Structure 1
Amino acid sequence: MDTLRKTREITQAWFERNMKGDPWLWGIALFLLGGGVIVVYSASVMQAYMYYGGDTEFVLFKQIQLAIATFVIMYLVHLIPYTKFVFFSRMGVWLAVILLLFTFFEGVRVNEADRWIKIPIINQSFQPSEVAKITLIAHLALILALRFKKDWSDMRLLVEPMLMIGLVCALIFRSNVSTAALLGATCFMMLYVGKVPKRYLAITMVSFLVVSGLLVVLKVGQRGRTAEARLESFMDSDTVSMQSSNAYKAMARGGILGEGVAKSYQKHYLPNGDSDFIFAIIVEEYGLVGALVVIAAFLLLLYRGLRAISKPKRPYGGLLSAGLTFSIVFQAFATMAVTVGLFPTTGQTLPFISNGGTSMLLTGAAMGIILSVSRGELEEI
């Protein structure tokens, strides 16, 4: 008993010394990462067998490596005082714009859209839109924080952030409509939390809806036609896509308690069951109970991530944490809403859980920044 108690005390002391910040946030991230490994392995067995020479554990080991890398990034980023991200927020957003422009001309095409940039030598690709999300949120948090401290005029507040939000979202829109929409919604919520006058919020909302609607109707960009087709299919009650049909069947099989771990039947027929539609596999294997646990985890993440707003002496940290939290949670609930048929198909992954590359790693970086803010050890400069 003494040995067990000492081991527990040593372990607890190590965590308190090395993993600072909100313990609830750490717990949520580790729970989602660990659960994601199990679900992705189950959902990808058939895919791994077909495309990797019968090696059904290929995706499992890849997902474990990705989860470990995500945790390491999250850990390293949380060690950086969040006030240091002020410089990053100023420079990073322009770097993201340059990367998005480069993607426009030299991007790697996937699913009829140039979303990726291939890194030479290591031969790995990443999506600049994922970088743009973090940098734009950080930049907007800085602008809103400066308004509190320097009393910017309302006109300057309207023009500068709106131009940057519009530029970044427009560059993303041409190849990824859903990501641009979610980023726009995140920025709007940051403006609301940042106490921007309601008349400017109304102008922003109307402008965003009108412009995005016109872009979809006019089929602007590489994915404009796809977005219109998905909206038409969603509005037609007599038309159900093959993906949605199989997702509904999977969830119907799940019932209250689910079929059991790795006992999904519909994974053999559901395209993107380990990524875009992984929530359907969760419901099939773990039932309504499992679905509610996942939903509760993201709601708890939302609550804990927004707590920094209540500290008026740290407006930059509060807005930064709120914006990144909104981004992660909005994406999660958009993915789940698509799976159950509340939204048109978007192609978004479930943060921390779905099989993915740069999206998961950069989500870890965003979570690390949120944890850095939650440390609360420094006052803003």
Structure 2
Amino acid sequence: MRGQLVQRTRGDKYIWGIVVLLSLISILVVYSATGSLAYKMYKGNTNVYLFKQISFTLVGLLLIYFLHRINYTIFSRVATILFLASIPLLLYTLLFGAKINDGSRWIKLPIINMTVQTSDFAKLALFMYISRLLSKKQEVIKDFKKGFIPVVAPVMIICALIMPANLSNALLTGATSLLLMFIGRVSLKHIFLTIGVALIPVTLIIAVAVATYDGKSKEDAPKTSVTEKAKSFGRFGTWVSRVQSFIYATDKETPYQVQQAKIAIANGSVLVGLGPGNSRQRNFLPQAYNDFIYSIIIEEYGLLGGAFMIFIYLVFLFRCIRIFRRCPYAFGAFLALGLSFTLVIQAVANMAVNVNLVPVTGVTLPLVSMGGSSFLFTCAAIGIVLSVARNVELVEGKIPPAENAAQAEPIPA
């Protein structure tokens, strides 16, 4: 049975290897980062989160395997439906979703009692949809009305719906979409126009952060300040505070999680780190198993471990670019590249937050942070990329047509 499963596993072998490697790293680091938490939460049972992560990993690998067996052109057919479904889903999340840190990002599924971050589904649907649009509109892609507006409008809609609860996620989604548009031959002047529009709210946040900063600590700052009043407008005050903390904060005023992440990195500053399972800051660092897991990796595995993680994601991006160049159909090429861009950019953003290069965001490290809906949607994206790779192998004759007659004649997109 296992031999048949391996034999039927196709697609880019390097990407499969990266998936397995990151999954193993995830199990090791999540177990280390959650040991103390599990001990406190479950009365001495330190293996709860380990079994949970192993379960998510197995489900994720099965999801990748299932999706990679599907002809990727099916995703072109359902892209419009998924995109349209994501809009009311994001609206429902904003209005009725679970509020965590002043932001509504999750909805709770009643039967399985699991929270889902709907922006992950929306991003997946968006990249399917704009990949379809880019492939269909290559002849008029330089035209503002016929080519650019139909492609950029879905991006603006999704980013606008994600932004109130998760600005960083919206910016990363927009940046990935613009990068995909550039690859898709969209006019540079149209892309720069979009960047200019997107920079307006970012510039506004930075301007307010600079204008309202008075040099006082959070304890001494007057509660009637502009920043405090701005907090009544959704998460605007939170964004301003994070920018101020990043630009002006002294060691005393640096956010607690950033302080602990720096200590973790300092502990592992030698080449080999403290060793697997020997993290000290896991007891103090909030979200050590999620948003700040890269700090734990550096603490336990040193600078070599941190550099190795960067290398893995770069290899993943290189293999996906290779799939893009080999794919004979535009939709598959754009889809593989768009999904790979979003995962690698998310990984870079997470690492940048951990080493304090950018303000704190709620971005996880793909395939490494503790399992959840984000982990499963990451697996879905990788499964779709492998579906494109599998189809490329089929077209190139590396897979016997008799092995899968349903995919022997791929449908052009």
> 1:153 Cα shift?
3.4
Which residue is equivalent to 2:290? 275
Distance 1:214 1:160, change over 3 A: farther
Which residue is equivalent to 2:302? 287
214, 222, 230: which one aligns with 2:242 = 230
Query: Is 1:241 matched with 2:255?
Result: yes
Q: Structure 2 CA distance, aligned partners of 1:151 and 1:38?
A: 46
Counterpart of 1:244, as a letter, is V
Q: Structure 2 CA distance, aligned partners of 1:50 and 1:113?
A: 27
- Is this contact kept in 2: 1:40–1:355, CA < 8 A? yes
Q: Structure 1 CA distance, aligned partners of 2:107 and 2:325?
A: 39
5, 15, 18: which one aligns with 1:28 = 18
TM-score (norm 1): 0.93
Which residue is equivalent to 1:192? 182
Which residue is equivalent to 1:380? 412
67, 72, 80: which one aligns with 1:82 = 72
Structure 1 stretches of 4+ with a deviation exceeding 4 A read: 10-14, 149-152, 215-221
Q: Structure 1 CA distance, aligned partners of 2:360 and 2:303?
A: 22
Distance 1:215 1:86, change over 3 A: farther
Cα deviations by residue, 1:164-201 (Å, 9 ceiling, x for unpaired): 11111011001111111110111011011111111111
> 1:213 Cα shift?
3.7
Q: Structure 2 CA distance, aligned partners of 1:345 and 1:269?
A: 17
195, 203, 216: which one aligns with 1:205 = 195
Q: Give the gaps of 5 or more residues in structure 1.
A: 1-9
- Is this contact kept in 2: 1:100–1:172, CA < 8 A? yes
Q: Structure 2 CA distance, aligned partners of 1:117 and 1:237?
A: 34
Which deviates more, 240-249 or 333-342?
240-249
Which residue is equivalent to 1:3? none
> 1:273 Cα shift?
0.7
Counterpart of 1:246, as a letter, is Q
Which residue is equivalent to 2:221? none
The equivalences for 1:306-321 within 5 A come to 306-311=321-326, 313-321=328-336
Q: How many residues are matched?
A: 371
Q: Percent identity among equivalent residues?
A: 35
Q: Give the gaps of 5 or more residues in structure 2.
A: 209-229, 395-409
> 1:354 Cα shift?
0.6
CA-based RMSD of the aligned residues comes to 1.9
> 1:126 Cα shift?
0.6
Q: Structure 2 CA distance, aligned partners of 1:220 and 1:88?
A: 39
- Is this contact kept in 2: 1:174–1:221, CA < 8 A? no
> 1:100 Cα shift?
0.5
Counterpart of 1:85, as a letter, is F
Q: Structure 2 CA distance, aligned partners of 1:111 and 1:195?
A: 39
Query: Is 1:132 matched with 2:125?
Result: no
Q: Structure 2 CA distance, aligned partners of 1:78 and 1:285?
A: 34
Cα deviations by residue, 1:12-62 (Å, 9 ceiling, x for unpaired): 7752x3111000000001100111010000011111111222211111100
Distance 1:312 1:369, change over 3 A: closer
The equivalences for 1:334-373 within 5 A come to 334-373=349-388
> 1:154 Cα shift?
3.5
